[in-house]
Amino acid sequence: MRLYIAEKPSVGRALAACLPQPHRKGQGWIETGGGVVTWLFGHVLRQAEPEEYNPKLKRWRVEDLPILPAEWRLVVNESAAQQFAVVKGLIERADEIVHGGDPDREGQLLVDEVLDYLKNEKPVRRILINALDDKSIHDALGDLRDNADFLPLKRSALARARADWLIGMNLSRAYTLAARRAGHDRLVLPIGRVKTPTLALVVRREREIENFKPATYYLLDAVFRHEKSGESFRARWKPSEERTPLDPEGRLVDEKAAQAELVSFGAEPQDAKVTRYERKKKEEPPPLPFSLSALQVLAGKRYGYEPQQVLDTAQKLYEEKLTSYPRSDAEYLPVNQHKDAAKILGNLAAVDDSELGAWARAADAKQKSRAWNDAKISAHHAIIPTTVPVNLARLSAVERNIYELIARAYIAQFHPNYVYDQTKVEVTYHGELFAASGRTERAAGWRAMYRTAKNEEDAEKEDEESAVLPPMKKGDAADYVSAELGTRQTKPPTRFTPATLLQGMKEIHKYVKDEAAKKMLRDVSGIGTEATRASIIEDLIRRRFLNAAGKKKVLTPTAEAYLLIDALPDTMTYPDATAVWEDRLHSMAQGEGTPEEFLAGQAAFARDLCAAALTATIAGGGGVPCPACGRGVMLKRKGKHGDFWGCSAFPQCRMTANDAGGKPDFTGKRIPRSAAGASGACPSTSPAPAHTPRGSYTPTADEQEEMDALFFGEQ
């Protein structure tokens, strides 16, 4: 018997529908003439919790950190236990297994981990289903591959999952305990390998805005008349840094200097000369089809949709068989997919009352853009329409908008390039350099589909680039006509929205601290994955580390966000390390490196940051500072003989005080000599414990649930 294991029921049902009759449905499976189809519910196995390795680890104790499993364990999710039993029984009966996980790293792992857990030794093949329409599934059935070919994908996903556990579990416990020592009795500090640097982007951006001081700078534009043609044109003065005071961005900030140049240009007119003239014909190919991130960013900017909303909508379109697999990080298409172009374009051309129809009818199905490139394809391809006809009237407004974005990007691949003339001119006048550029459209091509309203900044830039310049050549003379001085003000950085924050996660090289790393990571696919970035942002909002306000959901950090980021060392809050790790995970997916090597580095990182947590300064906890050690705060406790106050750094600091009306009473108290002598702490007369408490904490049920949610998914 051949057994197909799909990632989720919807994929299983679509797959079964494409297999031969007869069909017989059971609880959690469908028997067909071509084998049995079953399915998972995503990850039916989860990483074991610390207390499932050792019951004593249920309590959060400094002395137990870091927790480093010697042998990693998986546990069957209670919610999926019934289906797991079904899958287990079918695997035992099967002669051959077909792995039907989604075509990405996570999809590879979640089926493989079940097979590994059950110690399967039967042959396993791989089916890559990029869309749920019948044609796509039939094509995939005809192209089964050896599952061993995808071992690197599995290893990369496995390393990612275990790294998330190591960093999230250990550092969240370490810094939550540090917060307890600082007097934050009810604060849980969730820390994640991806989540924390993402939060830090928003915190740092907000501080840039808070500290921003606007500055005025000056632009001087001159009008010249070309002597041969008699036509006038404008050119902008390029001040010399040696002669004119410029700011670090090369802007003229001295008004007196600008006014002096303006006066001198007009007071002593001289002949001007064209010292450079370039006119080149250029072509711009259509933008590539969408990856999930690119779709989320554009939908966010255009419609204000949140990334998770875009993912959910794209998933629904996929399950309705209208579009291909949504969690794709690819922007290219396999060459063999081009054979479906005529069918897809024909369906879109039939759409009434829509620009899509007109664009599709004008498309040339024989044209092949740069998007078709097998070398850029791994397990999945860009998001595109399927061969299934669409009825836009049956879609919701959000579904229609997302579908039209996907379809337009696909149709654009069959329209001509945008063709224009790019002109650059430099004029020397009064020994100073003036420059102008122009762009003249020859053929709109695909751009005719993208005529949309532009923001002020984009419009300004395009106006500068599209100025009409007279034909001229190097060496031509020009007459000075006039000049005018304009002023601009520097603007603060814009706050992130969910869409632009997701874009920041994708283009993380822009935010790394180390310049060498910045260059190295330019081509890295960012931090997080296509499937998890949206949920990470949504989770930061849900856990009230970020506020989202207004129609565009502008993001601002909460007090807890500042507290968390300020408590952590730069190695955890800057994306440098995480981006490098993501690069290594990507390389592992290409067959370079092993999970063991990667996790050894993660374990060392966890050790270092757990040690750093012992001396972390966490502000805002309130309470009365301990007069003995200066690091802890006095906390009210219940003793055998009634209430008393003790230092949160116990047992390293053993300062106590009697309770006096709800406050610690230090009258007649002597500072004990049991705390460490460094950093203002009291000298010790006996060996101090290796770790700084408060040494343990038993979380409430709500806190434990919160921590579990953090640790058993990507951070």
Please identify every residue annotated as catalytic.
325
Return the structure tokens found at 20.
Answer: 């031969």
User: What single-letter amino acid sits at 167?
Assistant: I
Closest to 129 in 3D by CA, of 116, 120, 115, 142: 142
Query: Exposed (0-12), middle (13-18) or buried (19+): which is 446, by Cβ within 10 Å?
Result: buried
Structural element, H or E, at residue 81: helix 81-93
**CA–CA separation, 568 and 119 (whole Å):** 41
The answer to whether 254 touches 457, Cβ cutoff 8 Å, is: no
Say if strands 232-238 and 432-443 run parallel, antiparallel, or are unpaired: antiparallel
Helix axes 307-319, 397-412, angle to 10 degrees: 80
Number of helices and strands in the chain (H, E) = 22, 24
The answer to whether 17 touches 134, Cβ cutoff 8 Å, is: yes
Residues 458/459/460/463 CA torsion (nearest 10 deg): 120
Residues paired with 548 in a beta bridge: 555
Closest to 714 in 3D by CA, of 68, 105, 72: 105
Residues paired with 423 in a beta bridge: 279, 438
Q: From residue 280, how far is each of 422, 424, 513, 543 by CA, in Å?
A: 5, 9, 38, 54
Residues paired with 633 in a beta bridge: 625
Closest to 565 in 3D by CA, of 591, 540, 585, 583: 540
Chain centroid offset of residue 675 CA:
44
Q: Three-state DSSP class for 199?
A: helix
Side-chain half-sphere of 200: how many Cα atoms within 13 Å?
A: 25
The answer to whether 50 touches 170, Cβ cutoff 8 Å, is: no
**CA–CA separation, 399 and 567 (whole Å):** 42
